[in-house]
Structure 1
Amino acid sequence: MTLVHRPRRRTATAAAAATIIMTLLEIGGIGAGTAHAGARPPTTSCNPAVDQTWLDVTSLQVDPVVTDFLAVYVAPGTTGQRTETLGRVDSVTTVVNRSTEISVSASVLFVKIEAKVGFSVQKTTSTTTSTTVSTTWNLNQPGYYGLYRGTRRVQGEYAKFVCAQTGPTTGVWINAFPDGGGGSFTTYELPEIGSVNCAQTEPAGTLRRTAQIRLSC
């Protein structure tokens, strides 16, 4: 069976909509620019009934952050379990476009972020300051220890385009940001709790190495 595509007659409304969209694109009224070089949908046209938004992460940076810390000295003969409460030294909060209120619509963005970094991140309104760290450590050797809680902070930028309707099943992609730029985000991995000493230097760029630096290792 052969399908024959007949040209559709554009209505006056559709033609007017197309004219308005193209005019706005020319003057940059609804964000004609891109968030990052090459950060554009693969096509210029879209179907508003199917392709409502297009989103991609354009840049990101991952950094280890120690959020809670306590340096302790274990004297000879006092090794074993001990309960300590850590002091807050830093914090990380989920933020999208400078807002700490994370909406359900941001879930697509977080899925994209996870695909880029290769680990799970916080997807809802959250902060590392919501709880105090008081736990029990097992310290078996005398010496100085750094007790810590920390995470990997992920921050960067993203591009978002929306499909602006020009006809019943036709549209064009336009930048979702009024200034023609892009959006920003900050999120983080589920925090971990641990302890370090200076007996062995941890790999650079890791959370444990960051904790060692706080211990002056």
Structure 2
Amino acid sequence: MTIARRTRRRRTLAASATTALAVGLLSLGAAPAAHADTLPTLCNPAVDRTTAEPVNVQVTPLVTDFLIYNVAPGSTGHHSDILTRVNSATTTVDNKTEITATASALFLKVEVKVGFSVQKTTSSTTSTTVSDTWDLVDPGRYGLYRGTRVVTGQYVNRICAQTGGPNTGIWVTTSPSPGTFTTYESPEIGSVRCAPAEAAGTVRRAAQLLISSC
């Protein structure tokens, strides 16, 4: 039995625990998912002024907190524990952690591009500790995790340049070089077993790959 959630609820577990080692983004066994760039070209100078457009966007699953549990046959009961932090995700724009209103607007466009909600304010997974109670009654080796999908990319600043009448214009890139950003999806907490294999590119698969001696 495996479980995953985005809001806290109680679980029970009887097991022995060992702590997993920290891993980085590149050790999760899944290549980042890239999203194609299709930037708008036409604009209305009477309405449009400036904008920041995300480009070269990539999505990577990341496990931030993790523990391995071995469940003995026939064991039941409640077990509470604190997951060990193995990595972190933080919102940044141009390597700065303070997220302005302009950056929040950029992240709204990032959401449209990747197809899921992301953090749009100053946020970090290190701001909370994962303490929970799990219910895993089936025997086997489990990975208990918290993780997220990290979104990284670049952005370009553009202005609407008038080309004809007052309502006719084209977007023109003004930045000499693109800026950078990082944000992430609301973290999920769950458990995963050695088998069956979880879908590639998911947080659950990233957590599954951290379970040693399967």
TM-score (norm 2): 0.72
Report what 1:5 is aligned to. Answer: none
1:210 to 202, 206, 210: 206
Is the radius of gyration larger for structure 1 or structure 2?
1
How far has the Cα of 1:164 moved from its partner? 7.9
CA contact (8 A) 1:40 1:159 kept: no
CA contact (8 A) 1:39 1:56 kept: no
User: Quick check: 1:86 aligned with 2:83?
Assistant: yes
SS at match of 2:177: coil
Structure 1: where are the runs of 5+ without partners?
A: 1-37
Q: For structure 1, which segment, 55-64 or 90-99, has the greater mean C-alpha deviation from structure 2 after superposition?
A: 55-64
Q: CA separation in 2, counterparts of 1:55 and 1:104? A: 12
CA contact (8 A) 2:53 2:158 kept: no
How far has the Cα of 1:191 moved from its partner? 0.2
CA contact (8 A) 1:94 1:126 kept: yes
Structure 2: where are the runs of 5+ without partners?
A: 1-36
Higher helix share: 1
User: Quick check: 1:192 aligned with 2:185?
Assistant: no
Amino acid at match of 2:137: N
**Per-residue CA distance 1:138-191 (angstroms, 9 max, x = gap):** 0111221110000000001111123589xxx799966443xx111111000000
How far has the Cα of 1:75 moved from its partner? 2.0
How far has the Cα of 1:40 moved from its partner? 6.7
SS at match of 1:80: coil
How far has the Cα of 1:55 moved from its partner? 2.7
Q: CA separation in 1, counterparts of 2:39 and 2:141? A: 52
What's the % identity of the aligned pairs?
A: 57
Report what 1:19 is aligned to. Answer: none
CA contact (8 A) 2:41 2:171 kept: no
User: Quick check: 1:115 aligned with 2:112?
Assistant: yes
How well do the aligned residues superpose, as a CA RMSD in angstroms?
A: 2.5
**Per-residue CA distance 1:46-78 (angstroms, 9 max, x = gap):** 73x632203322211101100000011122332
How far has the Cα of 1:91 moved from its partner? 0.4
SS at match of 1:102: coil
Q: CA separation in 2, counterparts of 1:73 and 1:176? A: 56
Report what 1:42 is aligned to. Answer: 41
Amino acid at match of 1:212: Q
TM-score (norm 1): 0.71
Q: How many residues align?
A: 173
SS at match of 2:102: helix
Q: CA separation in 1, counterparts of 2:40 and 2:113? A: 18
